Structure 1
Amino acid sequence: MKRLLVGAALGALLLPASLAFAHDGHEHECVDDACTVQALFQTAPAEGSSGFQGTEAPRYGTWGFDLNGRDTSVKPGENFFEYANGEALEELVIPSDRTSYGSFALLRELSDNRMKALVTGLAARNDLTPGSDEAKIADAYRAYMDEARIEQLDAQPLQPYLTAIRAADSHDKMAVYMGQTAGRFGASFFGTGITIDSKQPTRYVVSTGQSGIGLPNRDYYLDARYADKKEKYQAYVGRMLEMIGWENPAETAAQVVALESRIAEAHWTPIQNRNRDETYNEYTIQQLTQEAPGFAWQAYYDSAELGGVPRLIVRQDTAMPKIAAIYAETPVPLLQAWEAFHTADDMAPMLSKRFSDAQWEFRARDLSGQPEQRTRDKRAISFAENQLGESTGRLYVAEYFPAESKAKMEELVANLRTALSHRIDNLTWMGPETKAQAQDKLRKFTVKIGYPNKWRDYSGLEVRGDDLVGNAERKGLFEWEYDLARLNEPVDKDEWGMTPQTVNAYYNSANNEIVFPAAILQPPFFDPNGDAAVNYGGIGGVIGHEIGHGFDDQGSKSDGDGVLRNWWTAEDKSNFEGLTTRLGAQYDQYEPLPGFHVQGGLTMGENIGDAAGVAVGLEAYHLSLNGQPAPVLDGVTGDQRFFYGWAQVWQSKYREEALKQQVATDPHSPAEFRVIGPLRNSDAWYEAFGVTEGDKYFLPADQRVRIW
């Protein structure tokens, strides 16, 4: 049940590797104003507990930041992340069912707690109209919570899949089977989905790319630093094959991992996959058949109901022939075993405890260092949300999102756009022709705040209170059929790629839009009653970050109408690439764990977004003062409060294994360097905190990278 969702450049504020947008869209309780962030962390859960329990938004100090949460024994120029957050982080405990914790996670927990109150409230009622969205939400939750039935069924829901896999006894039949996994449980050597066409963003297109591996990315197969994870993966594959009754599970598991290692060698690197020019390759099915022989492409697309498409986009074009050749060389029994394992792995969270525990033990505990599994009720809430995301979001908005928050956000966004427009006008490295194009793009930005103007229609989705796996199957097919129906329709510009209860934000280049779900619009990001400087450092930095994605190294390849094309002069493009190269070299030096450096090339887009967020957010704050001096609060200047606001939203701790995985797979830098990286390139930060030569993160003025 894995779909490929690619095409447009998608920039998100915080997008873990495990999170994907639907339909190509691109992380407590406090009762009074005196409650501080330090107090929040002091009341955070002890190890072994399941996290923050409140449903009220947190408060941070008296004006938006808790000065007592700083560690003033650290000089700002030595480590501003520790200086601004150190005492608060000292008190912060990562709950045992999480791999990281901090400002994002606190709000995610808040959102989860609110959704739990809403969903369990529905599940407790017996007066819901059958077939209504509310009844479907309740039934989705009930089905997940019906442990007795799930245990009774055990592996039975898998049997029809395993029977079909065994019947696929030739290479051509296996290609057909892989095509049928679109919207269903299972996997394929190639991932196919329906996305917005980057060069014709008024229409949708079929997109196909590399797939076929079960570890986070190719590095986990090929890099010696992850050898222990590969070994544990092989043991997990064998365990799952044994549980489903597959012959010779241990020997077969070794063959499956060896097969995936060959596929991984053919895969493009994460940095290569970021290049939008290289990942847009137009093909017909016939051309793909000729250039990547060994795989029954026509049969594959036919079985996915895509056999008649006149054109498709192939992302990793040079990888396709290699993976197709590997497929052709692999004995059918091994292909069947590979498919059987991935199907069981895919379905495991909805099967009996022996399956769900086995999957959690490898994928969460061994890969990410999570000591304890999330409780079943938390997983049930997530499942119900996934079934009817926007319907649960509509309930969330009605209960928890005040109209005045949307109005104030609109004002903030307008100020950020004005600030960036001023900055574009004053850029010294960009000429007038490119500036005119950049200003045109900025004017054409669409802004979405809080929730969609129209909600998804789930009337065609059947949800039953006694059929967990069936609910997941029907949901997958419902979404696949939804995507198929869009192929000959114009792009729906009103659609959202996140639900309102999501603590995140994103930029979608094909729609040239920035999107801010309701759940992120609360402290520490946005406090309607807080200090303006802290708000501009928090949500203002987020807004600037998302706008900045439109002008990062990949988002800048699309124009104001979302068309993937070069709108730069050669000289300006060269100047821009020189700046990004220098920025990437800075991030390459950061080492969050010994031997694990940030990848400046992988994190480039997010790093540019962060730099833009700080630069544009600060200028917007200055503009908001209307020529008046910034007030001084508790001895803290306006600029200082702005930088505190930025640092505060990245208060986070990671488990070591999770941090290793982030460095390998995530386009976002670790939290510490999302604070340090952009600030050491900001002249105003040096002035605000007296950072001087000799401080660890001091950069001479001529070495600071100022892009937007």
Structure 2
Amino acid sequence: MHMRLLVTFTLCGAAAAGLLGFMPPEDPKPKKPKYIDRANMDLSVKPGDNFYYYANGSWLKKNPVPASKTRWGSFDELREESSRRLRKLLEEAGKNSSDPKQQKIGDFYRSGMDTAHIESQGMNPIRADLQRIDALTSTQAFLDELAWERTQGMGGALFSFTISQDRKKVDQYIPQIGQGGITLPDRDYYLKNDKRSTTVRDAYRKHLMEMFVLAGIGAREADRMGDAVLRIETALAKAQMARVEMRDPYKTYNKFAVKDLANLTPGVDWNSLLGKMKLQGADSIIISNPNFLRAVDVLLSAVPLEDWKTYLKWNLLNSTAPYLSRSFREQDFKLRQALSGQKEMAPRWQFVSGLIDQQLGDALGQLYVAKYFQPEAKERMLALVNNLQETFASRIKGLDWMSQETKVRALEKLNAFTKKIAYPDKWKDYSSINIAANDLLGNVRRSAQWRYNEMIGRFGRPVDRTEWGMTPPTINAYYSPVNNEIAFPAGILQFPFFDFGADDAVNYGGIGAVIGHEITHGFDDQGRQYAASGNLSDWWTKADADLFKQRADQVVAQYNAFTVLDTLHVNGRLTLGENLADLGGLSMAYEAFTKTKQFQEGKKVDGFTPAQRFFLSWAQVWRSNATPEAMAQLILTDPHSPGEHRANGPIVNMDAWYQAFNIQPGDKMYKAPEQRIRIW
């Protein structure tokens, strides 16, 4: 799940979002795609045995994961194209000195591409930071440094800190503190002793030592420092909630008066610390995991100051390595190799263009929209969204398991949805950020510092509901429960999701299902707990909530049974929200598709009926190959199921799929009608 300023539920996990890999030459006359291409299918596989391989088998065989990738699929192909476009925009911006906005992002790009200058600097960009950490003389000084670093855009060790909407009073911003402080992607890497976990842990332990050696520390001392970091992070991991627990919006909503935090953490003066983090006047704060902060308080007195200084040095090295000389970048990549199986570093230009999309996304997004987005797509998308919304309303009215009382509130919520399409109505102003053409790390920090100040500046102000959680070039979509909004960036409004030239079957099986997916997030196991206003409040009768949970538990069991890699299975509880959104979204999109002229005429296109093309379009969206290491990591960290199970999981519960492909008892994917799960 991609998280920025809002709690969001996305179509596709952020793990696939790196702008990496091969850049194809630009085609001045793009060819019309074959929307359903038999060359990508494996017709030797029965659709009822494995529909994903039937739809995608030949493509999967012909498209192994590139060396600079961890996985490769439909999303990645689009990200590749987006990355190529960003590069072109940035190179052109660098030549446009008459436009300050373009010059700013052009200079940022130049600072990242000037590897000769970066190499000549070695570790000079962080030398003063290391010396300042060395000079710390007390635990309080350590906390002060931690606070100061946040205000300077230097990362956030130990815990997360945001100013975001109060889930129970969404018209107000409130400070929020969450668990954090670890480097590996999940607490399980520190706590489990299976072969995969210990292999990664050993690689991390070696990586720690090597990074400290690069910073000029002797091997024996670097070894000791690596042990200290691993001990601290393991203790923090033990105190963290598991990801499934963190999905409970009530369990993670613990509001404290700031003056009462001394009872939770006697060793931390939060009034002082928050002030040093530039937050003034807050009387209350939300703590997602109070037990985590209790553990931090104990560790602050139990861990020697020298070890805390080592921990800060590590966080500094880890957060800056991608922007330093080649030896640091290569060592940083070794850890990513161990975690993901990626064989080669990405081309430099792709790393830098992706970085600028993250740091100055609205400035780059404006250029992207002006050059690559068709305004007509916004109008067409709004019509599709309204169509899907009306279809979902009729489905709610027809539910046989929900009472009229809850239906009224569900429809109230559905009708209150805000729809954001393509790009923001107002763009962020980055004019106050100083960008230098020869200071990559400084540019990153000043951009991060600007974002931190923007975040702090929210406190006490009205909530800005115009803000987006993704940049326009992003190949993704999201639902925000606190704003009760769905958003579709410009980047996703292209084939295989959407194309003006495609037949309705392709568009409804692609972007139609995406729209339905995001709408259904408002009614999944998490989203359903938020009211039409966006507030976290229970609008269900108990009987209806119990019936929903029974059906949701069936989905958990279905996905728990899917094997991903040797003994690894999908975590049906972690992925429940996304699986519910896939099932609801695809069902909704299919019903909307049945109202189209194409469906009602029933004519075959390229040998496939309209219904068959709809389901084939859905399946081809999810085609993807991945390294075993990446698959194992995603099972731990990603709330989305792997592509195969996203393609196959929902359809076995849809009667229309059985009819479209004549699926019969004896086919491996067949489920008897009474076993098919129906929720929305």
TM-score, with structure 2 as normaliser:
0.96
Q: Amino acid of the residue matched to residue 230 of structure 1?
A: R
Q: Amino acid of the residue matched to residue 172 of structure 1?
A: Q
Match of 2:50 in 1: 79
Asked if 1:278 is matched to 2:276, the reply is no
Match of 1:213 in 2: 182
* Among 532, 538, 541, the residue aligned to 1:566: 538
C-alpha displacement at 1:698, in angstroms?
1.5
Match of 1:138 in 2: 106
The more displaced of 428-437 and 315-324 is 315-324
Q: Residues 178 and 19 (structure 1 numbering): CA distance in 2 closer, same or farther, change over 3 Å?
A: farther
Q: Amino acid of the residue matched to residue 11 of structure 2?
A: L
Contact 1:186 1:339 in 2 (8 A): no
Match of 2:382 in 1: 410
Asked if 1:262 is matched to 2:235, the reply is yes
Q: Amino acid of the residue matched to residue 163 of structure 1?
A: Q
* Among 401, 405, 429, the residue aligned to 2:401: 429
Asked if 1:200 is matched to 2:198, the reply is no
Q: 3-state DSSP class of the match of 1:201?
A: strand
CA RMSD of aligned residues (A): 2.0
Equivalent-residue separation in structure 1 for 2:97 and 2:8 (angstroms): 42
Asked if 1:399 is matched to 2:371, the reply is yes
Aligned ranges for residues 252-401 of structure 1 at < 5 Å?
252-363=225-336, 365-401=337-373
Q: Residues 547 and 50 (structure 1 numbering): CA distance in 2 closer, same or farther, change over 3 Å?
A: same
Match of 1:42 in 2: none
C-alpha displacement at 1:375, in angstroms?
1.3
Aligned ranges for residues 491-502 of structure 1 at < 5 Å?
491-502=463-474
Contact 2:16 2:71 in 1 (8 A): no
* Among 133, 144, 147, the residue aligned to 1:165: 133
Aligned ranges for residues 552-631 of structure 1 at < 5 Å?
552-625=524-597, 628-631=600-603
Equivalent-residue separation in structure 2 for 1:466 and 1:548 (angstroms): 47
Cα deviation digits, residues 61-105 of structure 1 (max 9, x gap): 54x211231111111121111011101111113221111111100
Asked if 1:227 is matched to 2:166, the reply is no
Q: Residues 5 and 16 (structure 1 numbering): CA distance in 2 closer, same or farther, change over 3 Å?
A: closer
Cα deviation digits, residues 569-600 of structure 1 (max 9, x gap): 00000000111111001111111101111111
Q: Amino acid of the residue matched to residue 501 of structure 2?
A: N
Match of 1:665 in 2: 637
Q: Residues 173 and 308 (structure 1 numbering): CA distance in 2 closer, same or farther, change over 3 Å?
A: farther
C-alpha displacement at 1:307, in angstroms?
5.0
Contact 1:145 1:380 in 2 (8 A): yes
The more displaced of 86-95 and 208-217 is 86-95
Equivalent-residue separation in structure 2 for 1:576 and 1:56 (angstroms): 51
Equivalent-residue separation in structure 2 for 1:633 and 1:230 (angstroms): 52
Q: 3-state DSSP class of the match of 2:601?
A: coil
Instruction: Give the unaligned 5+ runs of structure 1.
Output: 21-26, 28-47
Equivalent-residue separation in structure 2 for 1:141 and 1:108 (angstroms): 19
Equivalent-residue separation in structure 1 for 2:266 and 2:326 (angstroms): 42
Aligned length: 674
Match of 2:61 in 1: 90
* Among 100, 106, 128, the residue aligned to 2:98: 128
Instruction: Give the unaligned 5+ runs of structure 2.
Output: none
Q: Amino acid of the residue matched to residue 670 of structure 1?
A: P
Contact 1:140 1:465 in 2 (8 A): yes
Contact 2:599 2:611 in 1 (8 A): no
Match of 2:39 in 1: 68
Equivalent-residue separation in structure 2 for 1:288 and 1:19 (angstroms): 37
C-alpha displacement at 1:373, in angstroms?
0.4
Q: Amino acid of the residue matched to residue 186 of structure 2?
A: N
Cα deviation digits, residues 180-213 of structure 1 (max 9, x gap): 2325224421111111211111121111011111
C-alpha displacement at 1:319, in angstroms?
2.3
Q: Residues 355 and 18 (structure 1 numbering): CA distance in 2 closer, same or farther, change over 3 Å?
A: farther
Match of 2:224 in 1: 251
Asked if 1:689 is matched to 2:661, the reply is yes
Q: 3-state DSSP class of the match of 1:104?
A: helix
Equivalent-residue separation in structure 2 for 1:475 and 1:261 (angstroms): 31
C-alpha displacement at 1:351, in angstroms?
0.6
Contact 2:554 2:677 in 1 (8 A): yes
Q: 3-state DSSP class of the match of 1:174?
A: helix
Contact 1:424 1:439 in 2 (8 A): yes
Q: Residues 508 and 629 (structure 1 numbering): CA distance in 2 closer, same or farther, change over 3 Å?
A: same
Contact 1:419 1:623 in 2 (8 A): no
Q: Amino acid of the residue matched to residue 299 of structure 2?
A: I
Q: 3-state DSSP class of the match of 1:632?
A: coil
C-alpha displacement at 1:178, in angstroms?
1.5
Asked if 1:16 is matched to 2:14, the reply is yes
C-alpha displacement at 1:324, in angstroms?
2.1
Contact 1:177 1:300 in 2 (8 A): no
Of all paired residues, the percent bearing the same amino acid is 37
TM-score, with structure 1 as normaliser:
0.92
C-alpha displacement at 1:286, in angstroms?
2.5
Q: Residues 137 and 55 (structure 1 numbering): CA distance in 2 closer, same or farther, change over 3 Å?
A: farther
